[in-house]
Amino acid sequence: MLHPSAAPLARVGGCALAVSCLSGSAFATVPDRYGLGARWQGRGGGSVALVDDGTAAFVNPAGLAAADAGQVSLGLLGASPRVEAVPAVWWDTNRDGVVDERDPPLLVDPTPPGVFGLDLAVLGRLGDRAALGATVWLPTAAIVRFQTFEPDLPSYARWGNRTQRANVAFGLGIDTVGGLQLGASLDMGVKARATVRLTLDATARPGGTGTGTSAGIDGDLVYDVHQIDLSVVPTAAPVVGLRWEVGEAIPALDGLALGARYHAPTGMPLDVVIDAQANVGVEELADDPYVAALVGVSELSLFDHDVPQRLDLGAGLDRGPLAVHLDARWTDWRAYRLSIARVVDAELTAPLVDLGDVVLDGNEVAYEVRATWDLRGGVEVRLPEVPAGARWRFVQGALRAGAAYDPTPLVSVGSSAILDSDHRVLTAGVGLSTGQPFDPEGVLSLDLSAQHHGLARGVLPRTSASPRAGYPVQGSGVPFGGGWWAVGGQLSVAY
């Protein structure tokens, strides 16, 4: 449980405790955290009740059936997170196996990596009642990145490498009767397994020219890597959704829509098997050379990009020049797994010695999280159309704004220094639509968005009378929190 001294953290600007051990709150990847497409990014993201373009394949596949025409869009998104600087901490920097005053302080920069990438969305109609859609988020830094973190060092786990992951979703939406639309899609991912087998041969013999304890000793050290095997295979998490255009059944409520989406758990598991043998030999000190073999087999498990199951519920009203929506998302963090390498099985054997029970996991972390609800909403005001001649037909502008808030799901955490806080987002956007000059029925749109992300500020108390790994050298706490901007743009064609 949290130490009582952490109680002041529990209220930072009215937010819940801001030391979290998660990797995505309700926002686990770029599509969840920032939204897909500048049109939706500018109005708070989400919108399971109103989404009607190719991004619906991820947001709510039932929305694919709501599109009046085929659509293609290409967008950009960039963000550069900024967080509070943390003080230097104690660490075994001189690698002598002891953390003490002889270790130079370790400078830690917990700033999460920046975000920049492309998003592509495509929607095609299948007759009057069905549509197929696909959406892709492709980061430029890495398509897939596996990375663990050290829980004793200050780190924003949920803002780490999860933004360095490609997202691909394919979906189908069907319009049934009474304004009810159903949809299903697959959120694609990968899982991997790696095997490494190696031998380390160390030989010592008299006759060296060293000094001190190594005087008179010479030797060789040979690494022999026998096998490296990495297998990466695709996986898929099912997504199902529904959308009801209430006005189809109740004309007085024309423009009102209700939506829901369920996204199954997903993630990027990586299992690593390390089979290592160390042969230590001594020559010319006895009649027969002596060789001692130490064999270790360990299996590590890393569950990166773990995204629990979540349920989205939303309502939206799109009537005339005004569109508004409000979404609520339930995320079941209770089965959440941190991006920490865990030893799930290990065996160590040596001549005349049984070491099978002495292998312990050095990254054992106890934590407790809860299920949470987060909110997001937005508004769009469409300006009057302005005639633009026979070629472009019309020009129409749009103004957008939105907000999102998700609380930290943390209940308790051990001695780790994982930093996080309640997260709020303010968004704004503009859009411009005109006729497509190559299609008398088509529409060309340009949308721009800006988002400000804020993490509530506070201090994680971490004081120790003696040097302790991961604790500030000056004995002060570790500050956390921050704020940054994200900007996006999107060009869309409806045909």
State the DSSP string of 310-350. Answer: EEEEEEEEEETTEEEEEEEEEE-GGG---S--EEEEEEEEE
- Segments making up each domain of the chain, as ranges: 4-494
Q: Which residue has the higher pLDDT, 205 or 451?
A: 451
3-state SS, residue 212: helix
At 299, the pLDDT band (50, 70, 90 cuts) reads confident
> What pLDDT, on a 0 to 100 scale, did the predictor assign at position 259?
97
CATH of the domain spanning 4-494: 2.40.160.60
The model scores a pTM over 0.85: no
Segment holding 390, helix H or strand E: helix 389-392
Question: How far from 402 is each of 43, 56, 314, 323, 426, CA to CA, in Å?
Answer: 4, 19, 14, 12, 6
333 has which bridge partners? Answer: none
Q: What are the tokens at 363? A: 């990254």
Q: Is the alpha carbon torsion for 62, 68, 72, 78 positive or negative? A: negative
Q: What is the mean pLDDT of residues 88-104?
A: 91
Whether pLDDT at 382 is above 70: yes
At 353, the pLDDT band (50, 70, 90 cuts) reads low
Alpha carbon of residue 149 to chain centroid: 14
**Residue-wise pLDDT tens digits, 453-487:** 999 998 988 888 889 888 999 878 899 999 999 99
CA dist., res. 363 & res. 342, Å (int): 6
Q: What are the tokens at 317? A: 């009203």
3-state SS, residue 288: coil
Q: What is the DSSP letter of 68?
A: S
- Residues with Cβ within 8 Å of 92's Cβ and at least 6 positions away in sequence, in order, are 98, 99, 103, 469
Whether pLDDT at 17 is above 90: no
3-state SS, residue 69: coil
Other C-beta atoms lying within 10 Å of the C-beta of residue 264: 15
Exposure on the CB side of residue 151, measured as CA atoms within 13 A: 22
CA angle 207, 212, 213 (to 5 degrees): 75
**Residue-wise pLDDT tens digits, 236-261:** 999 999 999 999 999 999 999 999 99
CA dist., res. 379 & res. 383, Å (int): 13
> What pLDDT, on a 0 to 100 scale, did the predictor assign at position 274?
84
End-to-end CA distance of the chain: 57
Whether pLDDT at 448 is above 90: yes
Segment holding 389, helix H or strand E: helix 389-392
Strand 180-206 to 266-282 pairing: parallel
At 37, the pLDDT band (50, 70, 90 cuts) reads very high
Phi, psi of 158 (to 5 degrees): -75, -15
> What pLDDT, on a 0 to 100 scale, did the predictor assign at position 18?
32
At 223, the pLDDT band (50, 70, 90 cuts) reads confident
**Residue-wise pLDDT tens digits, 156-175:** 877 766 666 788 999 999 99
Alpha carbon of residue 30 to chain centroid: 7
Note whether 76 and 446 are within 8 A (CB): no
As a whole number of Å, the CA-based R_g of the chain is 28
Q: Which residue has the higher pLDDT, 67 or 208?
A: 67
Note whether 465 and 471 are within 8 A (CB): no
